[in-house]
Structure 1
Amino acid sequence: MRLWDTGSGQTHTTLTGHTGTVLAVAFSPDGHTLATGTNDHTVRLWDTRSGQTHTTLTGHTGSVLAVAFSPDGHTLATGTNDHTVRLWDTGSGQTRTTLTGHTRAVRAVAFSPDGHTLATGADDRTVRLWDTGSGQTRTTLTGHTDWVLAVAFSPDGHTLATGSDDRTVRLWDTGSGQTHTTLTGHTSTVLAVAFSPDGH
């Protein structure tokens, strides 16, 4: 991984240590920690100032495809090829909860703005909304006809956007679990989705 100075466009730190391809990165809310997921089945938490690993998270038995910090930075969610999602305590490096239910690789994870809900997208063509406190599935969103590769909450948390290998983006009402808009026009896989800061 490289950390770049956005002003100069130069690398200021190169992070080394993983033994496999780096597939996912996420900064903690305070910017002091970087989480990286790879196909060596581990997640590393790096100190962005020193460039050193301070914690290595182990337990997954497949490639780590997605990582996301909770809004308070105390929890990290990871999605993997082993069909599970884990919620980790970023302080201790221990698994807090293992979320099971997806039947294929989990490729996308995102916390709601209030941190109470985690959205996950998977190769089983479903999206799940989980209660982060109980670890239980709150809602399963169905409608995509191929892998779900990207998920993102709107700033107010009321809408979830999902991108899929079926070439569509869906906007879901997170309360009802229903699609309220399907965005069409792409001619290939949708790999990433993001809301503007105002949510419009």
Structure 2
Amino acid sequence: MGEFADKLAAQSPAFQRAYLGSLAPSLVKSANLEKYYKTLTDFDFITAKINHPEFGVQPLIEDYDLIDHREMSNNSEYNFKKGTSLELIQGALRLSAHILVADKRQLASQLHGRLLNQKMPEEIQTLLAQIKQVKTFPWLCPLTTSLTPPGGRLLRTLNGHSDSVLGVAVTPNGQQVISASSDKTLKVWNLATGEVIATFTGEYPISCCAVAPDGMTIVAGDTSGRVHFLRLQGMREE
């Protein structure tokens, strides 16, 4: 790893936690956008935040949302090309989130496989070169763009059911997704974070689901022929 990782490793756990949690927000608050760009395109920082037990991939993804690229376009300190690089890296992390939650050691392979493209901006080319220097453990280094790249139709994959998904519904506010599965569960997902926020477990496979216009009533049917009416607030939280 590089200088960033070496310096961070020499600090106390409390300092590491505070530093990783506050670095990106403090840079935006102080309008130090150049260092903000550099930090969020630094593989050492990305690795450190993902691997820290109190953070992980979702808090890192949220670091890229600290500035609104459309609102910042008229700011003299804003660099459009670097802003595009941040959006592409964030997109790659979001596409890889369900894999990284299960195995953080796949970070290098996931980013390299999704960002390896001759048309990528200079900042990403530098990031890819940094990734190729990883020698702390064996990893698969794709030679071509072998994974779904950011910027396409696929935004994120949700992983949590143990059997086929038979029905999906979205709440009216667009913030939650409901999924019905053969594994006898109905899950409520936070669409922004990809986390399961509540689960209903039935006796039979749940074959379909829908959300009422009030956004709080869920209707689900199972393979026994029964229909379940559930209040979103009354479901068991994960």
| TM-score under structure 2 length normalisation | 0.35
Q: Which has the larger radius of gyration?
A: 2
**Greater helix content:** 2
**Greater strand content:** 1
